[in-house]
Structure 1
Amino acid sequence: MITRTTQDRDRAIHSALEAARWAPSVHNTQPWSFAVSGGEISLRADVERKLRMGDPSGRELLISCGAALFTIRTALRCEGFEPIVRVLPDPDRPSLVATISLGEAADADEHTRALGQQIERRRTHRAGFTDLPVPERLVDALTREARAEGAKLTPVGSPEAVEIVAALTRAAQAAQSADRVLTLEVIRWARPPGSTRTDGVPADAYPRSAAHTDPYFAQRDYAWRHEWGAEVGQEQTTATGVVALLTTRGDTREEWIAAGQALQRVLLDACAHGVSAAFHTQALEMYHLREFLRQEVCGHEYPQMIMRLGITFDDGHSVRRSLPEVLG
């Protein structure tokens, strides 16, 4: 029988919180805070970091928090504890996303450890990919990973469907770029060169001018009216990669959190195999375009994330707030 001491428990909680800081979030807003009471972690949504124009419902905020929740679960398992999770446990505290307590002591399996090793290595990619193909067997494995968390990952197979998704992304980006308030909200999270901020998107983590994939998937214009961003070797990074949709059957807060957990599980497994992801949420932030995707492309399931999966040799750069900053 495996036994764990109070010191083991405290070390596991500390490791889990350190890991949770590295979860992905829209524009790297890091919209979460944590509290610890005894052997229980509380994960809370930080509504002050919600995108009030782009994400008024808080859907992307809760997807981000769901990714942090899966990260905590994985880190606790790597530390030898089985997490006991309660999602949205208190209707009177809507910002309380989940509580996580430490259950029985158990050694993590090889797959869980492999995921845990990628938590701080994973990076969001914001350009095109190399021409190296993503193995079909890996895509199949990623669909199983999403299913294990209650979501569905569907690679978009036909060129016609890929073009539809790309066209909707371009349309949404064009509409949002014409909206000054939305644009200002996006660039609020774009860090200029030399910035010491520990949130948002660093200047060397997005291209100064987007690589034109075929079909073209429009990128967020973090360099709007500035000479910010990294120079990208266009000849090396123009492949689209595998386009995939993450969906859920319903569209409740619980399912948004489940989508976030599925997303992080997929991303960590992809990273373990040398595959990165680029995200395109523009069309999902516009009701009519999201509904079109749901009915015409997603088989009436609700699209929660649009991503491209591919191989890049750009390690990228990211920043995170320190643990004291996210402990409340």
Structure 2
Amino acid sequence: MITRTAEHRERVIQGALEAARWAPSVHNTQPWSFAVSGEEISLRADVDRKLRLGDPSGRELLISCGAALFTIRTALRCEGVEPVVRVLPDPDRPSLVATITLGEPAEPDDRVRAMGRQIERRRTHRAGFTDLPVPERLMDGLVREARIEGARLTPVRAPVAVTMLAALTQAAQGAQSQDRVLTLEVIRWARPPGSSRRDGVPAEGYPRTAPPTDPDFPQRDYAWRHEWGSEADLSRSASVGEVALLTTTGDTREQWIAAGQALQRTLLHACAHGVSAAFHTQALEMYHLREFLRHELCSDEYPQMIMRLGITFDDKESVRRSLAEMLQ
């Protein structure tokens, strides 16, 4: 039986939940809420923040919640506590993603500490990268990190495969841009300059017009029909960086959560080495394109994320809701 003072327990849990706020989520929707009972944290999916057109199955919502779950685990380990996790513990409460209980004391190793230091520093990049290469040794390390969480990260190095992924992203972005209702759902999460909202993508967080990469991986059009967004240097093409696919062997809710945990683990590890990530989920939101990708490039595994990894010196703003807003 572990004896903890109330003050110690409160400090550890408070720190873990403060850290979880910084997990990545689609359009920075932050689709989660928390509840605390004694030494147990409940992580719940906030379905009111789900993208009802872009993510009707809730796949991206649960990937986002999986990223928050891994962040809680990492923060607890940094405090010397081993978390005891139950994923989807109650079939009668489908929004209950996981429970995390404070377990045995455990001294964090250097890798856990390094990831913990990146939780509030990590940023999603929404443009091209510099020409500085991502070390191959680091990419191999990211592959191992994803595997620990039950997912596969595959660097896409064949030029023809990179071109195919870019073309699928272009096709999906083109189709989605013609759907006015879906576009309105996306720009609902684009914050105007000076906005006091603490969710969504800040105007400074995406370029008004992104410099094209070669091949071009288009970004979401957060600046649709307005002049928001940051200025970008359009005089030259930006580097694609290293393209990678995150996949799982199945496509269940458990595996979506596992994909989210693997995603955050790789992002924090990459950030600790000065590498950022840009995400491209447009093709994964269209059934036929996702199936084509699964069969042609993913060896029949299910693609959960298309990303580009690279080095950038941009220091973009990010915003998060207060913990009080997330607690139930």
* TM-score, normalised by the number of residues in structure 1: 0.98
Question: What pairs up with 1:201-240 in 2 under 5 angstroms?
Answer: 201-235=201-235, 238-240=238-240
Alpha-carbon separation, structure 1, partners of 2:221 and 2:299: 30
Aligned to 2:24: 24
Shift of 1:35: 0.2
Aligned to 1:278: 278
Aligned to 2:166: 166
Shift of 1:233: 2.3
1:41 aligns with 2:41: yes
Conserved 8 A contact 1:129-1:237: no
Alpha-carbon separation, structure 2, partners of 1:7 and 1:133: 46
Alpha-carbon separation, structure 2, partners of 1:203 and 1:154: 32
Q: Deviations over 1:233-287 (max 9, x none)?
A: 2357700000000000000000000000000000000000000000000000000
Shift of 1:6: 3.3
Alpha-carbon separation, structure 2, partners of 1:234 and 1:80: 47
Aligned to 2:145: 145
Shift of 1:232: 1.4
Alpha-carbon separation, structure 2, partners of 1:11 and 1:49: 28
Question: What pairs up with 1:190-201 in 2 under 5 angstroms?
Answer: 190-201=190-201
Shift of 1:210: 1.4
Aligned to 1:118: 118
Alpha-carbon separation, structure 2, partners of 1:114 and 1:316: 21
The DSSP-based 3-state class of the residue aligned with 1:267 is: helix
Shift of 1:315: 1.1
Aligned to 1:290: 290
Aligned to 2:129: 129
The DSSP-based 3-state class of the residue aligned with 1:8 is: helix
The DSSP-based 3-state class of the residue aligned with 2:165 is: helix
Shift of 1:107: 1.3
Alpha-carbon separation, structure 2, partners of 1:46 and 1:144: 31
Alpha-carbon separation, structure 1, partners of 2:100 and 2:182: 35
Unpaired runs of 5+ in structure 2? none
Conserved 8 A contact 1:129-1:236: no
Shift of 1:201: 0.1
The DSSP-based 3-state class of the residue aligned with 1:234 is: coil
Alpha-carbon separation, structure 2, partners of 1:306 and 1:246: 7
Conserved 8 A contact 1:130-1:237: no
Conserved 8 A contact 2:211-2:236: no
2:142 maps to amino acid: L
The DSSP-based 3-state class of the residue aligned with 1:100 is: strand
2:108 maps to amino acid: A
Alpha-carbon separation, structure 1, partners of 2:89 and 2:3: 28
Shift of 1:36: 0.2
Unpaired runs of 5+ in structure 1? none
Alpha-carbon separation, structure 2, partners of 1:235 and 1:107: 50
The DSSP-based 3-state class of the residue aligned with 2:207 is: coil
Aligned to 1:56: 56
Question: What pairs up with 1:75-86 in 2 under 5 angstroms?
Answer: 75-86=75-86
Alpha-carbon separation, structure 2, partners of 1:83 and 1:189: 33
2:75 maps to amino acid: A
Aligned to 2:105: 105
